[in-house]
Structure 1
Amino acid sequence: MRRNFVENLPYNPKLKPLLNGKRKAGILSEVLFWKQVRARSFHRIDFDRQRIIGNYIVDFYAKTLGLVIEIDGWSHDNKGSYDIERQKYLESFGLNVFRITDFDIKNNLSVVMKDLENFIIEHYSHQ
């Protein structure tokens, strides 16, 4: 697997106080996804939860791959242009963004995990 470790990502320390609240909020889809990937349980990939990149807090981040996982729930409704701008910003650092819906995690978790596996194979396999 090709590594894509992106060094020196921007970090806004003013967002740090928000991290504990976001983690403790216990959003069901995030908790369900975290149970699938924590402690390197998904293909031995190390994921961070609620990672600050620039002026954004991303849901999950796999630093060895430069992979951001975003779970789109009700808070993303009517925020299409914001999500596009945010994704372009993250991609400008060479990061890949994998988007999944809150609904799919709650209703099709095994499919979501297979889709993530396929995304990683597609974007990180040796060429």
Structure 2
Amino acid sequence: MYPPKPTVEKARDLRRRMTLPEVILWQAIRGRKLGGARFRRQHPVGPYILDFYCDDARLAVEVDGSGHEHPDQARHDMRRTHWLNLRGIAVHRIAARDVLGNLTGVLAGLKQRVCGQPPPPLRGPPPPMGEE
């Protein structure tokens, strides 16, 4: 599916004007640094531009700033997510404040989504049955 020419031009412009959280995340995932997955930044799909996109996982990664908490923006995000889901693209939303304050946790969650790795255990294994 080819995006409209204005969308492609806007994506090129957005690549030059990425936000600080987007730049930080991009530096952490570019060049197959996250489990060997390849990401594209500011990737146009139909009428939309995805912050990051992994084609192998069919996953859009969106870094949401505080503006996404506004009800109008939230409704737009829901419509956009629905449109992408209908085309087989899952959406993984990350708060910009999490990228800035907990990049390690963000990358672990993203790696789980992309590579299908289970999250690390929260505690040790249970004791063996029948032993006291």
TM range (shorter): 0.7 to 0.9
Structure 2, unmatched stretches of 5+, are: 118-132
The residue type paired with residue 114 of structure 1 is: A
User: When the two structures are superposed, what TM-score results if normalisation uses the length of structure 2?
Assistant: 0.80
Counterpart position of 1:4 = none
User: When the two structures are superposed, what TM-score results if normalisation uses the length of structure 1?
Assistant: 0.83
How far off is 1:10 after superposition?
Answer: 4.4
Alignment equivalent of 2:3, drawn from 2, 11, 29: 11
1:1-37 deviation line (CA, Å, top 9, x unaligned): xxxxxxxx34222212212321111310000000111
- 1:96 partnered with 2:96: no
Structure 1, unmatched stretches of 5+, are: 1-8, 123-127
Name the CA distance, whole Å, in 1 between partners of 2:4 and 2:37: 25
The runs of at least 4 consecutive aligned structure 1 residues that moved more than 3 Å come to none
Name the CA distance, whole Å, in 2 between partners of 1:12 and 1:74: 28
Seq. identity, %: 29
Counterpart position of 1:117 = 111
Matches within 5 A, 1:56-95: 56-78=48-70, 79-95=73-89
Name the CA distance, whole Å, in 2 between partners of 1:22 and 1:75: 17
Counterpart position of 2:122 = none
Larger RCO (CA under 8 A, 6+ residues apart) = 1
- 1:35 partnered with 2:54: no
